[in-house]
Structure 1
């Protein structure tokens, strides 16, 4: 759909205002979700600089902005206002915006906004109903609170890389990060969830609150079954490549013309799959009868199943598995999955147009709300393109004062 700068929000958060003091990914990912769900998001950027990710390329847009494609992934449904918060006059403008907002999201270092009067204690005094979400690497307390936190660092420290990658005794073995900035992204998701919970509390009580989110906390929480295996069963998690630590077989196998994925979640599926590949005898082997036996004997099972699977063409085996209602598929690259008919049918890819007419493609909000669906009102903005409208419409700044603020470098209308 094309951008309509005046489109009315229709999502469940329509009428909510968000002050976005975050940059890079975890915070912007959170505020983009809130924007997709209907909130008005006012993104504050540094005049003459903007969000760091505007320069995280190539690739860059071939337009006047030269914004990086990276920036586009996390900043739709936002207004960009360029204000220098380090100047007391700029900080005061931001405080005035906060008085009219429901939510603030920031990802400065712990205590970094106190000197500007933009910390939770300061803003909650002038707006007691404010929900204020702070996103840092390690949280607002604890021995690591003053450290900077970055996705790659958190993936390693959290234990995630100890269970990601090929086994140490295989070629290419060793710790491996996930191919997307998973710690940032999931912290953004948990932040949005926590903000929605705080909104529900405010609806009941009228109270705002401080939401303290840490990348390390979030990524450790995501260890899920791996951590539970260790805490409750003494099993030390390790790198298994594409294998599953508990369920077997749940991995890739080589067909005659390429690899496929086999994801069998129970004993019935295992028996059906063995019949399909011409090895109905395998489930009768005491080692493989149930998952409790298959897991410790996985290598022996792989040696039995591998030759039978290798006789198949991958498309034929995937089709046979689909007909038998067995979960299987192939490893797509990004161009293939973006062209997949299922993705098209679900409307995952959305076409938008920036205010200068530049087309951009974005991946939409994945949830399908039957009554209040997500909407896409504003393409990722150019830096500072909404400064004038927000300051004049929201704060009542007149033209003379706006001109003086621009001349002083406190605000900027547009980076490019």
Structure 2
């Protein structure tokens, strides 16, 4: 279901964002602002567009042979945006962008450090045009330091920030070693940090009238998102082991195998474990010295305990095991393949599949993933527009800042736009 809301109900109604970012992390941040009601104008290269249009494994099929160039990467991070094409290397292109900046509240860019300064599009230059501007740069390693000039992508930071060190099959087991997560989680979290920083800057501007510069780095996000596991290291000086599918808190917490499927079980407190032993008709396990502490159940004797639990769970179908665990209040959830996610009754109840009209799609619509912010009671995040075609809004946006139809046609002919 597609949600809509009156402009007056949108948290960021009246805020204009110029999105000069590409690929994934920064576009996610701009999209969040769009979901919350901001007018997000995506600036792309003429004829080429966002590099992310070519990423991923699937593309939205176009109507009547139209090539949408809506890859999975682009589609998931560019809804609620208007697309214009501008060649910022040309003086006329720079003039267009500066006129837009005069009307903007926020600019987001993820060019290499110092790249936009060559064209008068750096923060100091644009601050002179619009002192209230919030200018956010998103890079791999930050704006300064020995690695600032390096390009960076998600996998690099899962490796260098510690995420891979604590993800993967435990040592001593077949296939042991570090493992990257499936989704681009560092990019995704960096996008959320981008939006959060901009929201903070908007609040600061409300209080002081001042804009500011924001330096967001994937490196910073990658270290921060290792979170409590990294904090374990800072406290003890010892690196926690990789746990595979094991929980990071109490135990037992892991996948358990049923007669026809898989469930993730978290019996992470003493009381949950006691209930599990009763349910399994093996209450003696609760006082067994092998399993009489969270540390033993979750770490030192984890494999032995999971073998015992799996021997029990394999006797029953998944539905029965889930029913029994629910019945005694032990947290558990069925493992879902991607197709199963959309059949899950709670996913359907939360309306997480958002069917959105798409004028250029073969089907007339595109299915998107609903924003997790859609359940705000007074100013919910909404999906109002499908991701844009390249340059789809040139006439609208450029007309708003004073360009005539003739100007626009001439600049298109000369590849300024």
TM score, norm. by length of structure 2: 0.94
Q: Secondary structure at the match of 1:129?
A: coil
Distance 2:60 2:318 in 1: 38
Distance 2:168 2:8 in 1: 43
The equivalent of 2:14 in structure 1 is: 15
1:161-176 correspondence runs (5 A): 161-176=164-179
Residue 402 in structure 1 maps to residue 404 in structure 2: no
Residue 50 in structure 1 maps to residue 56 in structure 2: no
Q: Secondary structure at the match of 2:300?
A: coil
Distance 1:51 1:39 in 2: 20
2:379 to 344, 354, 372: 372
The equivalent of 2:90 in structure 1 is: 87
Alpha carbons of structure 1 residues 242 and 61: separation in structure 2 relative to 1, 3 Å: same
Distance 1:69 1:3 in 2: 21
Q: Give the unaligned 5+ runs of structure 1.
A: 412-416
The equivalent of 1:334 in structure 2 is: 338
Residue 152 in structure 1 maps to residue 155 in structure 2: yes
Alpha carbons of structure 1 residues 297 and 345: separation in structure 2 relative to 1, 3 Å: same
CA deviation map 1:254-301 (0-9, x unaligned): 223333211123111111111111111111123322313433332333
1:104-253 correspondence runs (5 A): 104-253=107-256
Distance 1:347 1:245 in 2: 30
Distance 2:138 2:312 in 1: 50
The equivalent of 2:30 in structure 1 is: 31
Residue 66 in structure 1 maps to residue 37 in structure 2: no
Q: Secondary structure at the match of 2:323?
A: helix
Distance 1:9 1:142 in 2: 43
Residue 296 in structure 1 maps to residue 300 in structure 2: yes
Give 1:233 shift: 2.0
Give 1:3 shift: 9.9
Residue 388 in structure 1 maps to residue 387 in structure 2: no
Q: Secondary structure at the match of 1:73?
A: helix
- Please tell me whether the aligned partners of residues 162 and 239 of structure 1 are also in contact (alpha carbons under 8 angstroms): yes
- Please tell me whether the aligned partners of residues 68 and 389 of structure 2 are also in contact (alpha carbons under 8 angstroms): no
- Please tell me whether the aligned partners of residues 9 and 378 of structure 2 are also in contact (alpha carbons under 8 angstroms): no
CA RMSD, aligned part only?
1.9
2:353 to 339, 345, 349: 349
CA deviation map 1:211-256 (0-9, x unaligned): 1110011010011111111110233123221012442111112223
Aligned length: 409
Q: Secondary structure at the match of 2:245?
A: coil
Distance 2:3 2:67 in 1: 17
CA deviation map 1:12-71 (0-9, x unaligned): 011100000001100110011000000000000000001112222542222113322331
Residue 98 in structure 1 maps to residue 101 in structure 2: yes
Q: Secondary structure at the match of 1:204?
A: helix
- Please tell me whether the aligned partners of residues 355 and 381 of structure 1 are also in contact (alpha carbons under 8 angstroms): no
Q: Give the unaligned 5+ runs of structure 2.
A: none
- Please tell me whether the aligned partners of residues 3 and 353 of structure 1 are also in contact (alpha carbons under 8 angstroms): no
TM score, norm. by length of structure 1: 0.94
CA deviation map 1:113-143 (0-9, x unaligned): 1011111111111111111111000001111
Q: Secondary structure at the match of 1:371?
A: coil
- Please tell me whether the aligned partners of residues 3 and 382 of structure 2 are also in contact (alpha carbons under 8 angstroms): no
Q: Secondary structure at the match of 2:84?
A: strand
Residue 264 in structure 1 maps to residue 267 in structure 2: yes
1:283-322 correspondence runs (5 A): 283-294=286-297, 295-322=299-326
Distance 1:96 1:116 in 2: 14
Residue 363 in structure 1 maps to residue 369 in structure 2: yes
Distance 1:120 1:139 in 2: 15
Distance 1:267 1:121 in 2: 58
Give 1:87 shift: 1.0
- Please tell me whether the aligned partners of residues 65 and 382 of structure 1 are also in contact (alpha carbons under 8 angstroms): no
Alpha carbons of structure 1 residues 36 and 388: separation in structure 2 relative to 1, 3 Å: same
